[in-house]
Copies of this chain bind each other. A is one copy, B any other.
Amino acid sequence: MGCQCPHSAPPRRTALAPEPPRRATIHEVARLAGVSHQTVSRYFRHNGGLKPATREKIDAAVKELDYHPNLLARAMRTRRTNRLAVVLPSASYFPLRLLDGAALTVHEMGYQLELIGVEGGIETRSERVREIADSGQIEGILSLAPLTFDATAHNRVPILVTGDYDDRMRGMGQLADGSPVKEIIEYLAGLGHRTFLHVAGPQGYASARNRRLVYEETIEAMRLTSYGVIEGGWSAQYGYDAITSLPADSGVTAVVAANDLLAMGVVRGALSRGWMVPQDLSVFGWDDEEMGRFATPALSTVAVDREKQGRDAMLRLIAAVRGEPMPEVAESTLNQLIIRETTGAARRPAGR
């Protein structure tokens, strides 16, 4: 695997390797335009105040030489790298559209995005994030999975944990927005359901915690019954296990699952017990994954604008990096219930 020491010098280019092509420098542009290189520098930094004639000469020279400022040199001098990092969770479940939105936004804002993969659990990940934060190469970090330490307290560079509560933003992040759970329960209650089960996601995730919280609050506020909350991971097997180990007389007629995978496992588990979905058991998912839309029965779920979430997360990170106040994000317009085939009227109390 080669040397894993991040501080060691990279392997030398072998004889076969093509030499990196030479690029025009700011001096060459300056010479061609007949100005000093500082003037060219100003030109690129939008400092304005250049005489139109000067500007035109530089325009031409830049075009002719196909000059692009060397960002490395700039970064070295300004001590700002303009690089952000996003840390993947090691679990198989994570929102890919979110990455897309994040990457797009980062580039639009003039930054670059380093992708960090992490093997192992929260410990390894947290360790790695610390390293990156201390590397001096990255100006801000978005972690898509929980960390062991309090990110807001870290002082070297801003660290945002996806969906985690952040004191500086006075409220929940939208990734962590659990309020649709309330709508789900209200909808289900309207269908006659009285006894619920919540198959929660791993509580290290703010999103999972919030959904659980709202579940418990709503059940209580509406004077409904919760058979309980089952905690696990994000994967389908947990949903399957949750439902297959449910006592026959639990009275549960509706399950609120923390995501579609879990919901899918719940449906499969119910079917394996001979329960019909939704006749015997209603199941609600979260994420609007394409597979769930085409499953039979098709999953009732919560549509989520992942791309916007990625975008907003990055906008907030960038604000933090720049020392600007973090933008507030509108929570309410984001999530939307989609009723499909896994939810229906509660079966008669007579039972299965």
Contact = CB atoms under 8 A, between A and B. Distances in A.
Interface of A: 1-4, 6-11, 13-18, 20-21, 23, 44-46, 68-76, 78-82, 86, 88, 90, 92, 94, 96-97, 99-104, 107-119, 134-137, 139, 155-156, 235-236, 239-240, 260-261, 264-265, 267-268, 271, 289-296, 298, 321-324
A115 B86 contact: yes
Contact of A322 (B13, B109, B139): B13
B322 A291 contact: no
A337 to B, nearest CB: 20
A72 to B, nearest CB: 5
B99 A136 contact: no
A103 B115 contact: yes
A20 B79 contact: yes
B1 A109 contact: yes
Most chain B C-beta atoms within 10 Å of own C-beta, residue among A135, A156, A261, A323: A323
- Assembly stoichiometry (copies): 2
Given A8-B110, A114-B113, A261 B235 contact: no
B116 A103 contact: yes
Most chain B C-beta atoms within 10 Å of own C-beta, residue among A72, A296, A324: A72
B80 A72 contact: no
B117 A101 contact: yes
A119 B73 CA distance: 29
Nearest to A134: B68
A107 B100 contact: no
Contact of A2 (B70, B96, B108, B294): B108
Contacts of A240: 294
A71 B23 CA distance: 21
B17 A322 contact: yes
A2 B99 contact: no
Contacts of A139: 20
Contacts of A322: 11, 13-14, 16-17
